[in-house]
Structure 1
Amino acid sequence: MPTTIAIIGAGAMGSAVGQRLIQGGARVLSFTEGRSQRTLDRVRAAGIEPAAIADIAKADLIFSIVPPAEATGVARRFAPVLSAASAKGTFIDFNAINPNSMRDVGSVLAGTGWDICDGAIIGLPPKPDNAGPKFYVSGGSAAIVDRLAALGLRAHRVDGSIGAASALKMVYAGINKGLIGLGTTMLLAAAGSGSAASLHAEMAESMPELLARFQRSIPDMYPKAYRWVAEMEEIAEFLGPDDPGAALFQAMAEVFSRIAHDQNADGRLASTLDGVLAGK
């Protein structure tokens, strides 16, 4: 009998992960109540079965892959049905939240009888032509990594209890997405100051690898910017009020918020960035 895995949050990442799990021999469900037709179409296209909340609680494994601001709310909503489930499985929070937020999730789910794991996904959604992202797990049963690997995921154990995998996600995302936010800020500044062409020429000569990275990662960020706002706030909280870097990531949240608003408006900022990246 195949392993049944339920995914809460079948967005671009969740649906792609579900498809990879199906390829690995699993049966995959997704809680789709209240989701858009676009999400329902994505779920069905991936071979994932839409399911009611009661059916989610019957799964062997549950993955929570939602925007950071929704992670604790998901735990609260599902805690009663997980407690009532006759069979207990493993719940893995794969959200981009800081260790304190993850411990809150763990506390909410502590009395359900389920094995609770802290997870982090690093990398882009899996596609047929790539190995997919890495799935880091801490806390819970030590056997979970082998279980995920057997289903086709690149799973790794992080030493430590709940919070350790989330800490890894915070520092990695701070470097990776923080760099994208920094590039976005300075490219817009270059356009506003009339130095865009000169900046592009200089980067092409002295930092070609970074320019190429920005040319890929900044346009890829536009539709995701709204989700990165809360992630930057999670990183700021992770650093704490005594770390001057916390203010930097609060500012990064504003940068991505600005891009998110631009995506819902006329796209002027995205057009400006595209122009600078193209050397125009």
Structure 2
Amino acid sequence: MPTTIAIIGAGAMGSAVGHRLTQHGARVLTLADGRSAKTVARIRDAGMEPVVIDEIAAADLILSIVPPAEAIGVAELLSPKLRDAKTKSAFIDFNAINPATMQQITSTLAGTGWDVLDGAIIGSPPTAESTGPKFYVSGDQARHSSLLEKHGLNLRLMEAPVGAASALKMVYAGLNKGLVGLGATMLLAAAGSGSAESLRGEMNDSLPELLLRFQKSIPDMYPKAYRWVAEMHEIAEFLGPDDPGSALFKAMADVFARIAADQNADGQLAAILNGVLENPA
């Protein structure tokens, strides 16, 4: 019998992960009720099987890969089903949440008999041209996550308790996505002040690597901005109210919310940013 892995969340990352797992011999289950036609097509193209929630609880491993604001809801949805499951295995939360939110998920699933593991995905979805992201897992003394490595994923097992993987994600995302938000903020300021051309020229002379990075990372951010809002709030909570950096990431949430609203409107901000970057994408 093939290994059965359930993935809650069939967005760009979840479906790509599902596709990679099916390519390496796993049977991959997911939930499709209430999902859009686009998502249902993505599930089909990935070779994933849409099933009812009771079948999810019979999987050898369950992965949660959803926007951070939905992470606790997934745990609440699954808790009674996992409690009633005849066989017990492991649930891995791979969402961009802070350790305190991870603890809430652990508490929600306490008493189900399932091991609750902490995960972090760092990198872009796997494609035919790339090996894909790294899957960090902490708190896995029983090595449940080895199934992921056996089925084509780049597993990085952390010899650390639950919470360590979430903390890693917060710190890395704060650096990586925080830089994108800072870049977008200052490039819009340059456009509004008439200094865009001179800024671009100066960056090309003194910060060419950063300019190249922004030319890729800022346009790539536009369709993802709505998901990054909750992630910035998770980072702010991770830092805590006594850390002045917390306010910085609350502000970054507002930056990404502004970009997300622009994507749902006329795309004017994206056009301005592309103009500053001389990137018409």
Q: Measured at CA, do residues 279 and 130 of structure 1 come closer, stay the same or move farther in structure 2, by a change above 3 Å?
A: closer
Q: Which residue of 2 aligns with 1:96?
A: 96
Q: Measured at CA, do residues 110 and 146 of structure 1 come closer, stay the same or move farther in structure 2, by a change above 3 Å?
A: same
Q: Write out aligned runs for 1:101-250 (5 A).
A: 101-250=101-250
Q: C-alpha displacement at 1:225, in angstroms?
A: 0.2
The root-mean-square deviation of aligned C-alpha atoms, in Å, is: 1.1
Q: C-alpha displacement at 1:141, in angstroms?
A: 3.1
Determine whether 1:12 maps to 2:15. no
The secondary structure found in structure 2 opposite 1:116 is: strand
Q: C-alpha displacement at 1:151, in angstroms?
A: 1.0
Identity of aligned residues (%): 68
Is 1:71–1:95's contact at 8 Å kept on the other side of the alignment? yes
Q: C-alpha displacement at 1:159, in angstroms?
A: 2.7
Is 2:64–2:95's contact at 8 Å kept on the other side of the alignment? yes
Q: Which residue of 1 aligns with 2:43?
A: 43
Q: Measured at CA, do residues 86 and 142 of structure 1 come closer, stay the same or move farther in structure 2, by a change above 3 Å?
A: closer
Q: C-alpha displacement at 1:142, in angstroms?
A: 4.1
The secondary structure found in structure 2 opposite 1:161 is: coil
Q: Which residue of 2 aligns with 1:71?
A: 71
1:113-133 deviation digits (Å, cap 9, x = unpaired): 111100000000000111110
Is 2:215–2:279's contact at 8 Å kept on the other side of the alignment? no
Is 1:138–1:160's contact at 8 Å kept on the other side of the alignment? yes
Q: Which residue of 2 aligns with 1:256?
A: 256
Q: How many Å separate the matches in 2 of 1:238 and 1:244? A: 12
Letter in 2 for 1:178: G
Letter in 1 for 2:66: V
Q: How many Å separate the matches in 2 of 1:140 and 1:114? A: 12
Could you list the structure 1 runs, at least 4 aligned residues long, displaced by more than 3 angstroms after superposition: none
TM normalised by structure 2 equals 0.98
Q: How many residues align?
A: 280
The secondary structure found in structure 2 opposite 1:226 is: helix
> Structure 1: any 5+ residue segments left out of the alignment?
none
Q: How many Å separate the matches in 2 of 1:222 and 1:98? A: 23
TM normalised by structure 1 equals 0.98
Letter in 2 for 1:45: D
Is 2:102–2:166's contact at 8 Å kept on the other side of the alignment? yes
Q: Measured at CA, do residues 262 and 279 of structure 1 come closer, stay the same or move farther in structure 2, by a change above 3 Å?
A: closer
Q: Which residue of 1 aligns with 2:54?
A: 54
Letter in 1 for 2:40: L
Is 1:200–1:279's contact at 8 Å kept on the other side of the alignment? no
Q: C-alpha displacement at 1:38, in angstroms?
A: 0.7
Is 1:178–1:249's contact at 8 Å kept on the other side of the alignment? yes
1:96-138 deviation digits (Å, cap 9, x = unpaired): 0000000100110111111110000000000011111000001
Q: C-alpha displacement at 1:140, in angstroms?
A: 3.0
Letter in 2 for 1:26: A
The secondary structure found in structure 2 opposite 1:144 is: coil
Is 2:118–2:164's contact at 8 Å kept on the other side of the alignment? yes
Q: C-alpha displacement at 1:145, in angstroms?
A: 4.0
